[in-house]
Structure 1
Amino acid sequence: MDSLEGLVITRRLRVPVDAPAATTPGWGEVAARQLDAALLSVGFTCSAALLDRLGRLPGETVVDLGVRVLAAVRHLVGDHVRHNVYFIDFPRNVPDTLEFWAGLLRQAMLDPVAATPVPSPVLDLLTLPGYGRYRHTYADLLAAHAELVPLAGDRVTVLELGGGLEAEVRDLYHSLAGSEVPLPAEDLTALRSLAASCADEPERIPVRENRAVVNEVRLAAGRPLLVDTVTDVLRLACGCSGGDVTLAVPTRFRSFRRAERRTLLQALDAVASPARLGDVPRYREQWKRLGERLHPGEHPHLPRAAHVFEVARGVRRARGLDSRVEEALSAGRTGEAVDLLERSPGALLRRLDHLLRTGSPASAVLDAAERATAGASGRVLLSLREHLQNRLTPAAGRVFVNRHGRAWTAADARPPIEEDVVSRAVALLDEEITRRLPDPGTLIVDPEALDIALPLSGKAVAPGLGMLPRGSLSAVDGESLRFFVHWRQAGRRTDYDLSALMLDASYDDPEHVSWTNLGNGFAEYSGDLVDAPEGASEFIDVRLARATRPIVIPQVHIYTGEAFDEAAEAFFGYMTRDAEQEGMPFEPRTVRMKSDLRGSGRVALPFVLLRGDGGAWRVKWLHLYLKGAPRFNQVEGNRLTTSALVRSIVERDHLRVRYLAGLLRRKGPAGGHTTYIGLQAPAGLPAGTRVYTPGTLHELIPA
């Protein structure tokens, strides 16, 4: 599959079509219908425009394109691998937990080899014969299950007709490069491929990591670099060395060619003003290592570049804005701190809560904040708006999430802020955000999209099918919900465990389903697998109508072996089914969500399942990772941490599409165009409609 074509298909659900229509009638229409039938088997279909366009192509062209399209969407839903299960009849005939372990012990005692005495007094149940590895083939599984009974409620995702591949790649490149919010690692990798293929760039690249990726291409082509801080140069050097442009992980720098060293030092010399040198100490060690590769002493005509490395080595002193602000605040000089921060509007707004709690007149701080709003990014304004709307309500705890999704909680010991102060701050933010929003024209909003949280950061959200930002709410429409995880180890034995924690409305009275408890009255576990050289899958089936707990938290634990981002493959998702549906444990057309697992934690918390007062179930998206233990993580061991984290996210009032839609309506129509916001664009929208779906919602975040 062509990688750029695959990116367009999976990120935009559009099929690029370059080939000219056939001049004489052929069998293209037949091939197009066959492709549509094959797509339906995995929950996709061609739009009318795409089907018509394919029908007018040569049949051979349709077949070749269809193979690539089908491969892309199968990978998107996780159907590119064979999903076997430990218990062949799952979700039926899952044994009682004690009965299961007693059977394995009995089998071990009757096996003369297994019954050989061992010196250790401790029996490791996971080493019992027959445990943790498939006991039947995939063909046996096929024979044991009837075909899926298709229902009208099954997922059908429409693939739209795209333009030529070059135009589609350009649009995707401009969307990612010009994003106002940080991208996940997968999108940064995609951006690198797109940048190498596109001649032109968006006029504005606001996110520093994106700019570093674009600068890699510029450096290779000998074009001027897009840098305005010394840290921009460090990010570029990391990217060129195959390292982390976010600077979260130290990079082992490669040897640079003489021309590259000269270009990097010239760029550094151009931006290394005395005020900018204060940024160097934050990444002191990385600057030292880079200096060893760039040899700034060979370029005496670039003295300001040399100053950067002198600061890193401690030869030259440079104080950053943060240190001067902290010194003023610790001395009680809030006015001086505010004056300093006004030079950096974004920094002032990010510290607004703290400044309002220092005892200085709130009116003076708010006056400075009002002046700062015009110079701060739209993402900072929206983040502060979300923070303030939660400030007046006592929280169960403060939750902190880093760029990798690693999360932890702390008690909220902050003193309160007066309601009138919060109201004034909210009003001035709303005014500035409204001013920056585009003219909506005629605004159409899908009601199901109103509870999607605004994507203020995408770093912890791996792209996939049905993915929504942290804090989003989405309805669950089936009678049975089935979680699944699949992984394949890269080198050493790896055991991932799918589990589910069930809590009452007060986040207490826990019960769980996992390899230590195979089922309860409403959920069953498909069986534990402890080795995955060829891949392994685990499932948990939850019958929603029988659930005795209103909170269900699926989670994936690394028991032993490779981390999520070390494994050859690792992904999680869920399916929904009705009671009368038969079928295999994994059926692609019932998949509602699927995404890769990654991150530095040892426990993944993708979302929480919540039952409302009316009995309807909804998913709230978490995208969190817990640090966990180096080995042997189990659901029983992190219950308190999990419940505290989940409660903090669930009770937080996230800024959602509903908020932006209200501001857009307040702005009112002023043009003849149409703006549509929804989960997927419906047919029949007017030509030229601006469409925002979850995959492009970041484009609605104002600059």
Structure 2
Amino acid sequence: MNKMLDIYINRKNKVSVEKLVETKDKEKSVIYVATILKNIEEYGYTFSEELIEALKNKSTEDLVKFYLDLKETIKLQVGEGIISQMKPMYPNFPKQVMEADYIELFINAMVHYISCGSILPEYKEEERFPLISSKDKKLTIIDLGTEEDLFNIYNELLSSKAVLSNHDKEDLVWFVDNMTKKQIVNLLPNEIVIKETLSFITPFIINKVGFNTKIANYYKTATDVLRLILVMNGYSSAIDSSEVKWLRPMKTRERKCLVQLLEGCSSIEADMFRNRTLWLKALNRLHPGNFKKCKKVNNAYDKLIKNKKIPTFKSKLEKMFEEGNVTEVVNLLSKRPGEFARALDRTVRLVKADDLKVQLDNRLNVVKAFDKVANLVSTPILLQLMSYFKKRSSENDVRVFFPKGNLAKAYVIDENIEVLEKKVCDTIVFVCQKHLRGLYSAKEMLGNVYIDDRLKDFVVPTSQRNASKSLKNVARGSKFKIAEDVNFIRAFVYWKNHDDIDLSAYFLTEDFKEIGTIAYYDMRNRGLNACHSGDIIDGANGASEYIDIDLESALNKKVKYVLVSVYNFSNKPFSDLEECFFGYMERTGVNDGKVFEPSTVKHRTDLSTKGDFNNSVIIDVENREIIICDLSSESAPYFPNNANTNKIGLINGLKGIINHSKPNMYDLAKLHADARGMNLVEDKLEADTLFLVDKEDMPVVNSSEDEIKEQTCITLYDVDYIISNLL
């Protein structure tokens, strides 16, 4: 696989053709380009005009190589790279399953189970009617890029204000390995905000270009240095003393570098006492006594050994909360605006008075104190605070929690928190919006701005830590509209190796009552007109399962939600599997075309989390929306891992997604437009900057009638740009 092409296609839907050789026979190249276009259309892709023109000037030999690399890449994007293994147990699915006698299905399953998955039923594959394409079918446009633009992804990832995913980190390492030393240093941003990213990439950069002052300047606190030490020892950057059993001996060069980094940090003593156990282990390996000039480090080490306790910020704050001293709490939090933002709800609730008007006024005084320091709070936190307090004055049945470092494992509890006054919540929202506009106004102007209303359906990617690599990278909770002429959703899962992966669909009413389940133990439901393609218990060299969901039949049966989930019946985490991915297709009919038609794939995502069951997508049947879920968890021990034994987890995952209070992309774009734009316009042709769902939504310019103007287009899928420049 061409990794560079894979990164550029996956992240920006662009290719660079600068290194392709120019041709002297343009007429022949035009034929080759037309052939490439015809072939990639099968996978749902096409080229922009700029790319077509650039390719027409390239040699046929290079065009052939370019096409083969491109085809391999886009096949992997849609999940068709292993088409020979995408065949279901019943080749004439779904018609064959719906019409089969129950005894036939039962016997086939028993033979398959008894043979440990080695025997599959044999049927002749019938010829199928060609695929009936959706009239709303849109092809994904691959645009012309440059090598400079490609390598700028490295800068955008490092500049991100959201925590990176594992595949983001893999791509970062590829850039460090494949860029020149000069490129690596020159493209380093002024600041790396996310400390996890900093500690992860530092060893790779040092290994390639050596240690330099630019890297050193990123390290501000003792905790930053501790994260780096943990990463250098093979641990995650999460500060977890229970995880760290042993630290390796370090070379003199490493010890000197780390001690000097620590010496350059401020307020190291209090910082180190917060993680005393870990620092004692680390300093035992660093031997700071060998570096006499580093007096701050040696003094702190001495106090750590003697356990001369230093009151920490957290201990002071908790004591003040326990005492109920609002004034002292506010004064202390004002010294750390980020902590103030995180504790704002709790601080407001600390204010109590018998007279409700007095209570309201005093709570608003807390908000005023926050207002004075809110400009020092990071923009992602302000965004999340704004969205949270928009819903905070209303009652909710549940609260949703996403554990740090394990965002994919949401858990839900009953809501029992005090409802806040609407005026307090509205004031906090206003304060957040005011400071966000102020912070964003320092960026370059956008001119006239157009914002697509559909961006309200998509969540801002404020954290990517557990995001999976996907065909379309969007945040959890984002909603895709189902095309009008689509009647069926076909979900699929693919996996490899000797594991048993199961695909299930759980049908629920609006108040979460069960209507039915489609799974390996209940393969069809004639009332819902839904069915399963057959349970394969051994992936071996690659296997697939499918579920067809009839939207109209589900709606007629009062179904509101369909939860589509994937289970690892082998009870091991998805991260241990060689390969596993989930996706869904939008189909007009179900018996036309192949069972797996790459051009109908609307979403595909790798399953690589540490859970063994995954709530993949939620189908909102009534609103005809697909909600991206991708929430993983661990199944109940001692019970089979399936939809029936995980009903509570399934419903909690559903509640967690539909009750979220995350900022949406429209609100983010509107804040930038207010702060940096001239006017909001309704005509795309009048805009200088467009915030769109996809590049296919760019305005069509009639060069004979319209004045051609240069426009900047920011789409939902420009995730790297969003997390580095818009957050």
Instruction: Give yes or no for TM over 0.5.
Output: yes
Answer yes or no: is 1:635 the counterpart of 2:643. yes
**Is 1:410 paired with 2:413?**
yes
- AA partner of residue 131 (structure 2): L
CA distance in 1, matches of 2:17, 2:299: 53
Query: Which aligned pairs between 1:69-468 and structure 2 lie closer than 5 A?
Result: 69-81=70-82, 82-94=85-97, 98-100=102-104, 102-104=106-108, 127-129=113-115, 134-136=120-122, 145=128, 147-163=130-146, 165=147, 167-196=148-177, 197=179, 198-199=183-184, 200=186, 201-220=188-207, 221-224=210-213, 225=216, 226-247=218-239, 250=243, 253-271=247-265, 273=266, 275-280=267-272, 283-306=275-298, 315-359=307-351, 361-402=362-403, 403-404=405-406, 405-437=408-440, 438=443, 439-468=445-474
- Residue equivalent to 1:7: 7
- Given the alignment, which residue of 489, 513, 527 partners 1:508? 513
Relative to structure 1, the CA distance from residue 316 to residue 73 in structure 2 (aligned partners, 3 Å threshold; closer, same or farther) is farther
Q: Does 1:484 align with 2:471?
A: no
Q: Is the 8 A contact 1:285 1:312 kept in 2?
A: no
- Give SS of 2:506's match: strand
Aligned amino acid, residue 694 of structure 2: Q
The answer to which of 251-260 and 224-233 deviates more is: 251-260
Verify: 1:675 aligned to 2:689, yes or no. yes
1:674 counterpart letter in structure 2: D
- Alpha carbons of structure 1 residues 170 and 560: separation in structure 2 relative to 1, 3 Å: same
Distance change >3 Å, CA 324–CA 676, structure 1 → 2:
same
1:289, distance to aligned residue in structure 2 (A):
4.2
Distance 1:373 1:485, change over 3 A: same
Quick one: distance in 1 between partners of 2:114 and 2:317? 62
Instruction: Please tell me the residue identity of whatever aligns with 2:693.
Output: L
SS at match of 1:560: coil
Q: 1:128 to 1:280 in 2, by over 3 A?
A: same
Given residue 18 of structure 1, which amino acid in structure 2 is its aligned partner?
E
Structure 1 residues 588, 415: closer, same or farther in 2, change over 3 A?
A: same
Identity %: 22
Distance in 2 between residues matched to 1:668 and 1:305, nearest whole Å: 45
Distance 1:342 1:25 in 2: 70
- Per-residue deviation at 1:250? 3.8
Q: Give the Å deviation of 1:383.
A: 0.8
- Shift in alpha-carbon separation, 1:281–1:578, aligned structure 2, 3 A: farther
Deviation for aligned residue 1:524: 0.7
Answering whether residue 619 of structure 2 is matched by residue 618 of structure 1, we say: no
Return the alpha-carbon distance in structure 2 between the equivalents of residues 283 and 92 of structure 1: 61
What is the aligned partner in structure 1 of residue 503 from structure 2? 498
Shift of 1:282: 5.2
3-state SS, counterpart of residue 637 of structure 1 = coil
Query: Where does the alignment leave 5 or more consecutive residues of structure 1 unmatched?
Result: 109-125
Aligned letter for 1:7? Answer: I
Report the 3-state secondary structure (helix = DSSP H, G, I; strand = E; otherwise coil) of the residue aligned with 1:511: strand
2:268–2:300 CA contact under 8 A, matched in 1: no
> Are the counterparts in 1 of residues 29 and 59 from structure 2 also a CA contact under 8 Å?
yes
Shift of 1:445: 2.3
Quick one: distance in 2 between partners of 1:314 and 1:643? 51
When residues 467 and 367 of structure 1 are mapped into structure 2, their CA distance, relative to the original with a 3 A threshold, is same
In the other structure, the counterpart of 2:652 is: 644
8 Å Cα contact 2:113/2:537 also seen in 1: no
Within 5 Å, give how 1:535-684 maps onto structure 2: 535-547=542-554, 548=557, 549-579=559-589, 582-612=592-622, 616-630=623-637, 632-667=640-675, 669-670=677-678, 674-682=688-696, 683=698
CA deviations over 1:176-200 (Å, ceiling 9, x no partner): 1111111112112212322442332
Cα separation, partners in 2 of 1:218 and 1:668, compared to 1, 3 Å? closer
After superposition, the Cα gap between the structure-2 partners of 1:512 and 1:15, relative to the gap in structure 1 and judged at 3 Å, is same
How far the C-alpha of 1:241 sits from its partner, in A, is 4.0
Evaluate the alpha carbon distance shift between residue 259 and residue 441 of structure 1 in structure 2; reply closer, same or farther with a 3 A threshold: same
Is 1:444–1:675's contact at 8 Å kept on the other side of the alignment? yes
Asked if 1 retains the 8 angstrom alpha-carbon contact of 2:141 and 2:695, the reply is no
**TM-score normalised by structure 1 residue count:** 0.89
Shift of 1:675: 1.6
Contact 1:104 1:130 in 2 (8 A): no
Give 1:114's aligned residue: none
SS in 2 for 1:461: coil
Q: Name which of 687, 691, 700 aligns with 2:714.
A: 691
Q: Superposition RMSD on alpha carbons, in Å?
A: 2.8
Contact 2:117/2:538 (CA < 8 Å) preserved in 1? no
Report the 3-state secondary structure (helix = DSSP H, G, I; strand = E; otherwise coil) of the residue aligned with 1:565.
helix
Question: 2:583, 2:455 → 1: CA distance?
Answer: 20
2:332 counterpart SS class: helix
**Change over 3 Å in CA distance of 1:38–1:457 after alignment to 2:** same
Moved more, 37-46 or 240-249: 240-249
Q: Helix, strand or coil for the counterpart of 2:157?
A: helix
C-alpha change, 1:630 and 1:100, in structure 2 (3 Å) is farther
1:525–1:202 CA distance, 2 compared to 1 (3 A): same
Q: Is 1:328–1:337's contact at 8 Å kept on the other side of the alignment?
A: yes
- Does the Cα contact within 8 Å between 2:108 and 2:120 map onto a contact in 1? no
Query: Would the aligned equivalents of 1:494 and 1:561 in 2 still touch at CA under 8 Å?
Result: no
Indicate if the aligned counterparts of 1:445 and 1:661 stay in contact, CA closer than 8 A: yes
CA displacement 1:553-595 (0-9 Å, x = unmatched): 0011121153111111111111111027612221111100001
Q: Please say if residues 605 and 624 of structure 1, whose CA atoms lie closer than 8 Å, have aligned partners that are also in contact.
A: yes
1:270–1:655: structure 2 CA closer, same or farther, 3 Å change rule? Answer: same
- Paired amino acid for 2:255: R
Structure 2 partner of 1:118: none
Q: Relative to 1, partners in 2 of residues 1:194 and 1:517: Cα closer, same or farther, differing over 3 Å? A: same
**Gapped runs of 5+ residues in structure 2?**
353-361, 680-685, 702-708
Query: Which residue identity does 2:481 align to in structure 1?
Result: A
Alpha-carbon distance between aligned partners in 1 of 2:234 and 2:633, rounded to the nearest angstrom: 27
Write out per-residue CA displacement over residues 257-301 of structure 1, whole angstroms, 9 at most, x where no aligned residue. Answer: 321221011101221x4x443333555554444334433343343
Contact 2:468 2:606 in 1 (8 A): yes
8 Å Cα contact 1:399-1:645 kept in structure 2: no
SS where residue 482 of structure 1 aligns? strand
The more displaced of 80-89 and 547-556 is: 80-89
CA–CA distance in structure 2, aligned partners of residues 187 and 55 of structure 1 = 33
SS in 2 for 1:76: helix
User: Bigger CA drift: 674-683 or 305-314?
Assistant: 305-314
Alpha-carbon distance, 1:373 to partner: 1.0
